[in-house]
Structure 1
Amino acid sequence: MKDIFLTGKNANLEAILANKDWRSSFLSDLTGTKISVKLNIPGKLKNNTAMKHIFLTGWKILLKKFNVLEIHAFPDLLTGSEGLLTVSEEQTKAKQIAIKFEEEFVLGRLFDVDIVGNDGKQLSRTSLGFSKRKCYVCTDDAKSCARSRKHSVHEIKFAINKMYDDYLKQRKNELISFAQRALLYEVILTPKPGLVDPVSNGSHDDMDIFTFIDSTISLRNYFEQLFDLTINWEKDLQELFQESRILGIKAENEMFLATKNVNTHKGAIFSLGILFIAEIIHEKTDENIQEIVKKMLSNLTKKDFQDLSKKENLTAGEKQFIKYGFTGIRGQAEAGFPNVFDLALPFLAQTTGSRNERLLDALMEIAEKTADSNLIKRAGNIEILGEIRKKITEYFALGGAKTKVGKAYLAQLDEEFIAQNLSLGGSADLLILTIFMGVLRGVI
């Protein structure tokens, strides 16, 4: 169990009292139903990475529950993370929402969500007929336990650590399920030009949909290890990336064992692993996820592509870098996956139709705008990119996957790809990332 009280700088009484005065003054200038959100952490240590993570997690959930008029967040205060906001709900309704959050969210007991009147007084739970807040350790009234010092500091801290541990286990399983869902959603889409789906092996004679299912299941251990590594990480992000690559090599071995030496997800192990890590860092810090990725992978292509002339066995990506200057998925990753965040996700958010239709259109949008390294490798030339882009333009002109003619055109394109041994493998990997982020952001 993670102990959130091990690191951090203590806040003295003077700072805590000054913060209280500042909060009161700040709230007095706001209009509307005023809400103060902070953590109820005993002792002098009020903030560190874990406590900030707890606050940001609950803060984001709370913001979705209210019709927010004004937001002010201060997650890095020495006296504890806190947020101040105004909402359109009247005070009684706002307090009911706050109480429900405190009682139902696994970390809700750690939050003080106070509805503050213009007179500076807080609306109490008991005035609305709700019971008093329960103790962290037992089911008795929290204030009574505190006054009588019923529980030791060790007992209280253990209870808080247990709450955080329960949340981390829950979130770990959620993120892993999202990652595996992204891998499975991609493979079951049909029809996809040259790619494996439930109907066809596409241009891949050595694999089928069952191979991908086996591969996806084998990667659960990889994502578990990535979560454990990242949630406890406090050092440089580039060092974190290097540690994750070691786990990636192990994951590749587990994948090959599950697929009988068939490469189903080597690209996804690299790229989805990066976004999986970045999402966890984002949830801990609230930093922009693309900026996190860029920090992790700074100078990646320079490091990975140096001294290629001395290397005997070049990968397809390395050969394309030498011949065309294409940096492939490494370049996409180093730039913060612009074809995911700036292209595919906004596109997907605007699509309509069934999930299969929306994701097929997203795949083709990605393929139209991406120099797909797998496609170039199989075609043996760069001219294939222009040819495929013309076909994709025609596909969208026909209405895309939502129309019968568009769907028929895509099936025809699939047959052409199979006949020519072509595949959109690189675009499929970017679609997996798009699905992962789409699920996380509620786009899918």
Structure 2
Amino acid sequence: MNKAWTEGPHPALEQVLECREERAHRQQEWLKKGSTLVVLTLNMPGPCKRFPLGDWSARQGAKALRRQLAGWGFPFLEEKEYATPAGIEYFLRVEGQPRQVKEATLLLEEQEPLGRLWDADVLYGTGEKVSRRELGKEERQCLLCPRPGAECGRSRAHGLDQVVEEVHRRMKQALAWEIGAFCGACAQRALLHEVCCTPKPGLVDGQNNGAHRDMDRFTFLDSAAVLGDYFAACARKGVLFQGSPEELLWRIRPLGLRAEEQMAQATKGVNTHKGAIFSLGILCAGAGRLLAEGAAIDEETLFSLAGQIASPALNDLEKQGEDTAGRRFYQKSGVLGVRGQAAQGFPQVRQWGLPQLNKALSRGYSWNGACAQVLCALMAHTEDTNLLHRGGEEGLHLVQKQAAALLEQCQEEQALEEGLSRLDSLFTEKNLSPGGSADLLAVTLFVYFVITGREGFDNALGL
């Protein structure tokens, strides 16, 4: 994770004490207006009080506080943030009984990952404060042990560096969850858009099941619905893992095996997304790592990192005793399949997927038409092991030839979709399903969503 996010100036003790006096003065001025006042600050030990991840954590607290009190039905009267050398202070005046407001704020500690790091003082009258004890609550627990925090603080039971490190760890964990949610949503969205794209020759789409007899679009929707947590978990691994990209693969592989089990449970044993679980899991881990570093995410950077993460997977093709379709095709003709695509940094997506998507959108295609254009280009240029499995080299070459001709002949969206519909009948009749190309369509969409959504995500984080 970006080290600069936990670095900042060290205010002098006089500054910190002065900030406390100013806060007390502000509190009195706000209390003169009546109602109940909530003042939220960040519990930040150590000499460094203002740093990017700390400010983000404090502002997450303000957002959580607003959600909590709005959910409890307390009307907001006034709010303001004060950025002081000693930390972010958030003032919120609400209409409500102080004890009830305090009950709501105490739940933040239990509900939110950063809750233990926030101090939410509830004041009323001339400065009276509602205490935890008034509500029958125990003292706040120490960050590092089960004892009361005040007791450990007085006895200095833990070193300051140890406490600061724990605070930073909790902040990083919380950020990892935010990054995971973003990447997971992009991956899940890519799967949903891929299955909705219509027509897709030989594949499940909005019109029919193509060459498949054991699945339909609802099978794919069921599968995509259970995979969001997996993709988010892969991104979190990318955020928090400190080893090399190659080592990261072994951290996310157990997650992938678990995801395959969840997929099978949701689909009653049908393989809807095994290839996508592998490819998008690696890309989520890569995107998480880049976002945690504060690095720019462009397609080349992301694909290069994904290739490094995936490279050890090529060793699977050399393993003895594993009789898989991918290994058989590799031994027979050297086709690397999904492992090769990932280890090489998804060359088909770089060369055909994203350029065709951007080209179609620039020409005014609908989103569905743009996705169909991408799929057609990928079918024309991908050594799809799913096609090899179903139709051998003859079937693969037929699909590639037909898709290439269609891509060249159809320059308008309607003509392209009509041509794909004709191919759908042909491929279905011959039991050909370009599932590998469909997975690469999902990869294309994921990368597009991450890149185009990055600015909005960064703005929302404020880092």
> What amino acid is aligned across from residue 273 of structure 2 in structure 1?
H
Q: Is 1:200 paired with 2:183? A: no
| Counterpart Cα distance in 1 of 2:90 and 2:6 | 30
Alignment match of 2:225 (pick from 192, 217, 223)? 217
| Aligned partner (choices 168, 182, 190) of residue 182 of structure 1 | 190
Describe the shift of the 1:239–1:45 C-alpha distance in structure 2 as closer, same or farther (beyond 3 A): farther
- Indicate how the Cα distance of structure 1 residues 409 and 249 shifts in structure 2: closer, same or farther if over 3 A, else same: same
Equivalent-residue separation in structure 1 for 2:356 and 2:59 (angstroms): 33
CA contact (8 A) 1:367 1:424 kept: yes
Report matched runs for 1:139-150 at 5 Å. Answer: 139=90
Shift of 1:284: 2.2
- Listed as ranges, the matches of 1:312-327 within 5 Å are 314-327=323-336
Out of 425, 438, 442, the residue aligned to residue 415 of structure 1 is 425
Distance 1:423 1:191 in 2: 13
Unpaired segments ≥5 residues, structure 2: 12-43, 64-79, 92-152, 154-159, 455-463
1:371 aligns with 2:383: yes
CA distance, structure 2, for counterparts of residue 336 and residue 46 of structure 1: 41
Q: Give, in whole Å, the separation in 2 of the partners of 1:162 and 1:242.
A: 24
1:334 aligns with 2:347: no
Which residues in structure 2 correspond to 1:392-411 (within 5 Å)? 392-400=403-411, 402-403=413-414, 405-411=415-421
Partner of 2:89: 138
Deviation at 1:289, TM superposition (A): 1.8
**Which residue identity lines up with residue 171 of structure 1 in the other structure?**
I
1:425 is matched with which residue?
Answer: 435
Structure (1 or 2) with the larger CA radius of gyration: 2
Alignment-mate amino acid for residue 211 of structure 2: S
Contact 2:196 2:206 in 1 (8 A): yes
Aligned partner of residue 441 in structure 1, secondary structure: helix
Q: Go from structure 1 to structure 2 and tell me whether the alpha carbon gap of 1:12 and 1:169 turns closer, same or farther (over 3 Å shift).
A: closer
Judged with a 3 Å threshold, the aligned counterparts in structure 2 of structure 1 residues 181 and 243 are, in CA distance, closer, same or farther, namely same
Q: Distance in 1 between matches of 2:355 and 2:317?
A: 31
Residues 43 and 183 of structure 1, relative CA distance in 2, 3 Å threshold:
same
Q: Is structure 2 residue 289 aligned with structure 1 residue 289?
A: no
Counterpart for residue 263 of structure 1: 271
Q: Which residue of 2 aligns with 1:354?
A: 366
Instruction: Give the C-alpha shift of residue 374 in structure 1.
Output: 0.6
Once the 2 structures are TM-superposed, how far is the Cα of residue 387 of structure 1 from its aligned partner? 2.6
Q: Distance in 2 between matches of 1:263 and 1:209?
A: 13
Q: Please identify, of 426-435 and 315-324, the stretch whose mean Cα deviation from structure 2 is larger.
A: 315-324
- Structure 1 pair 105–361 and aligned structure 2 pair: CA distance change class (3 A): farther
Name 2:234's counterpart in structure 1: 226
User: Which whole-Å CA distance do the structure 1 matches of 2:197 and 2:304 have between them?
Assistant: 31
Distance 1:366 1:440 in 2: 20
Residues 195, 217 of structure 2: 8 Å contact kept:
yes
C-alpha distance in 2 between matches for 1:253 and 1:357: 33
Identify the match of residue 394 of structure 2 among 383, 407, 425: 383
Say which SS state the counterpart of residue 383 (structure 1) adopts: helix
Q: Partners of 1:400 and 1:43 in 2: how far apart?
A: 64
Structure in which a larger fraction of residues adopt helix: 2
CA 1:175/1:299 → structure 2, altered by over 3 Å: closer, same or farther?
closer
Task: Give me the whole-angstrom Cα distance separating, in 1, the residues matched to 2:412 and 2:225.
Answer: 29
Letter matched to residue 291 of structure 1: S
Change in CA separation of 1:439 and 1:10 when aligned onto 2, cut-off 3 Å:
closer
TM-score (normalizing by structure 1): 0.64
Mapped partners of 1:215, 1:228: distance in 2: 21
Q: TM-score, normalised by structure 2?
A: 0.62
Cα distance in 2 for partners of 1:419, 1:260 equals 26
- Gap change, CA 1:289 and 1:416, over 3 Å in 2: same
* Distance in 2, Cα, partners of 1:239 & 1:162: 24
Q: Cα–Cα, structure 1 residues 251 and 375, in superposed 2: closer, same or farther, change >3 Å?
A: same
Task: Output the amino acid matched with 1:411.
Answer: S
Whether the 8 Å CA contact 1:358–1:401 is kept in 2: the answer is: no
1:62 alignment counterpart? none
Partner of 1:241: 249
CA pair 319-168 structure 1, distance change in 2 beyond 3 A? closer
The 1:236/1:164 distance shift into structure 2, 3 A limit, reads closer
Question: Are 1:276 and 2:288 an aligned pair?
Answer: no
1:106–1:167 CA contact under 8 A, matched in 2: no
Contact 1:256 1:262 in 2 (8 A): yes
- Alignment check: 8 A CA contact 2:311 2:343 kept: yes
1:43-77 CA deviation, whole Å, 9 max, x = no partner? Answer: 67799xxx89x69xx9xxxxxxxxxxxxxxxxxxx
Q: Deviations over 1:201-226 (max 9, x none)?
A: 11110001111111111112312332
Amino acid at match of 2:291: E
Measure the CA separation in 1 of the matches of 2:260 and 2:396.
29
In the TM superposition, residue 131 of structure 1 has moved relative to its aligned partner by: 8.6
Moved more, 321-330 or 234-243: 234-243
* Matching of residues 65-80 of structure 1 within 5 Å: none
Q: Which amino acid aligns with 1:133?
A: A
Q: Which runs of 5+ in 1 are unaligned?
A: 14-40, 59-101, 110-129, 141-151
CA contact (8 A) 1:178 1:436 kept: yes
Paired residue total: 328
- Closer, same or farther: CA 12–306 of 1 in aligned 2, 3 Å: farther
CA RMSD of aligned residues (A): 4.0
Distance 2:292 2:453 in 1: 22
Q: Percent identity?
A: 32
Shift in Å, 1:156: 9.7
